[in-house]
Amino acid sequence: MPYLTLKDGLNLFYKDWGNATGQPVVFSHGWPLNADAWENQMFFLGDRGYRVIAHDRRGHGRSDQSWARNDINTWADDLHELMAHLNIKDATLVGHSTGGGEITRYTGRHGTSWVKKLVLISSITPLMLQTPVSPHGVPMSVFDSQRAAMREDRSAFFYEVPKGPFFGFNRPNATVSEGLIQNWFNQGMQASFKSTYDTIRSWETDFRQELKDLNIPVLVIHGDDDQVVPFAAGGNETIKLLKKGKMRVYHGGPHGLPSIEVDRINTDLLQFLEER
């Protein structure tokens, strides 16, 4: 399995699939998952001639578990090291949830000279935390309760999240997939306690200026029934800050769109990639 040894000595796992000379698409996963969360999209695009890359964020999946530096700036720098290592140019970066924050911070710290387009799916941008400038955001008390739930019984918490709000399986008449629930749980428990606990702090990050500064095309995809990152605070506000933004609202869509709306996400991604 391919690993990159980062400058600080940590080993980062990644997948590099598809056409080695194809247009590169780089995926950043959500919390507390890993690169496996993107398999439907990677298979779809790889089968159509794209080069598709996804990594396990430090502390997650098969990457080394770090005690410190589990923060948005470090993740952006890790991604930059990976792209440099693989000599990736003119890439489209695709981020889900926390991964959307990661790729946005990447552009703020490393610019867009290596990046052609961005796709933000159910992203934590522009400011997930409820504040006077983000009144529709998530109260700090919710983040505190999630930290408390992890300290009390992480395994129970990591079962309830996919069983309920993440995929919208707590909604009436939802078609529940026990396989998706188990897969989410397995990925979450493979990640380190410390990394997943520290990640919650990243949801307090303000990405507004980075979004305003972007001068490349950005596709924003968000479900209007997202119970994790509310649409009113997420996609609805993100699109307002972008110079070259395009919005896709998935009516009734939950947070875990890449797994619940596989065909639609794949179609929207392909269409956006093919646009000149």
- Residues serving a catalytic function are 97, 226, 255
Closest listed residue to residue 261, CA positions, set 181, 167, 165, 161 = 167
* Cα 161 to Cα 163: distance, rounded to the nearest angstrom: 5
Residues found in the chain: 276
* Cα 222 to Cα 248: distance, rounded to the nearest angstrom: 7
CB atoms within 10 A of CB 56: 25
Give the pair of three-digit tokens for residue 37: 């969360």
Give the pair of three-digit tokens for residue 101: 């924050």
Give the pair of three-digit tokens for residue 259: 């797994």
CB atoms within 10 A of CB 126: 28
Beta strands across the sheet bearing 245-250:
3-5, 11-18, 51-55, 24-28, 91-96, 115-121, 218-223, 245-250
Residue that has been written with the tokens 């070259």 in this structure: 244
One-letter identity of residue 276? R
Give the pair of three-digit tokens for residue 57: 């964020």
H helical segments located in 164-207: 178-190, 193-202
